[in-house]
Structure 1
Amino acid sequence: MKVLTISDVRKNFAAVVDMVIDDAEECVIPRGGGKAVVIVSLDEWNAMRETLHVLGSASNARRLLESIAQADAGLVEEHPLLDPDSAAHDSGKEAA
């Protein structure tokens, strides 16, 4: 996490934005009174929001932690990825 003054950010805004995006590095800009702001990339912001959403539900959090424990214990099965187009086509055949 990079800490920069507001003056430095103002002078080098494009470079700061590039650093945040390209290096996935948060930028903290301290203000008076112990307050601060953080600049994060949109990808990082979306990932944080998704994590909060998933962990915001006790049942989702429990299932996720159980799945992680199963994976850590080697209790996983590998499956090939499905092609969405062929999966939709195949499901149409089953319904007929």
Structure 2
Amino acid sequence: METISINKFRDNLKAVVEQVVSRHEPLKVTRRAGKAFVVVSADDWEREQETLRVLQNKSLMRQIADSLQTHNKGQGYRPTEEKMNEITGL
């Protein structure tokens, strides 16, 4: 994660925010007399929050683990070519 000072952040606010949004990379802003903070785009923040919700859901994580075991054994649902085309939008 890139780091910049609060002064540089303030002086270049528009460009810095555009960079964070377009690159999808958070930016750490340091302050002399206080704790640092992180700037992240709203889309990235929402994506991270959804990931946290999934990781905290024990039932869903169990389903994912079971699915992975089934996949690794080569068992489970195998869609037809027609279904795959429908899924992938081809």
Q: State the TM-score, normalized to the length of structure 2.
A: 0.71
Aligned-partner Cα distance in 1 for 2:5–2:17: 14
The range that moved more, 30-39 or 51-60, is: 30-39
Percent identity over paired residues:
34
Q: What pairs with 1:6-21 in structure 2 (closer than 5 Å)?
A: 6-21=6-21
Which structure carries more strand by proportion? 2
Count of paired positions: 81
Secondary structure of 1:25's aligned partner:
coil
Aligned-partner Cα distance in 2 for 1:46–1:70: 30
Q: Structure 2: which 5+ runs fail to align?
A: none
Question: In the TM superposition, what whole-angstrom CA distance separates every residue of 1:24-83 from its partner, at most 9, and x where no partner exists?
Answer: 111001234772110011111000110111111211122223334555x365634324xx
Letter aligned with residue 77 of structure 1: R
Report the alpha carbon displacement of residue 3 of structure 1 after superposing the two structures with TM.
Answer: 0.3
Q: State the TM-score, normalized to the length of structure 1.
A: 0.68
The range that moved more, 61-70 or 13-22, is: 61-70
Aligned counterpart, 2:29: 29
The alignment yields a C-alpha RMSD, in angstroms, of 2.5
Aligned counterpart, 1:50: 50
Change (3 A) 1:47 1:67: farther
Aligned-partner Cα distance in 1 for 2:2–2:20: 9
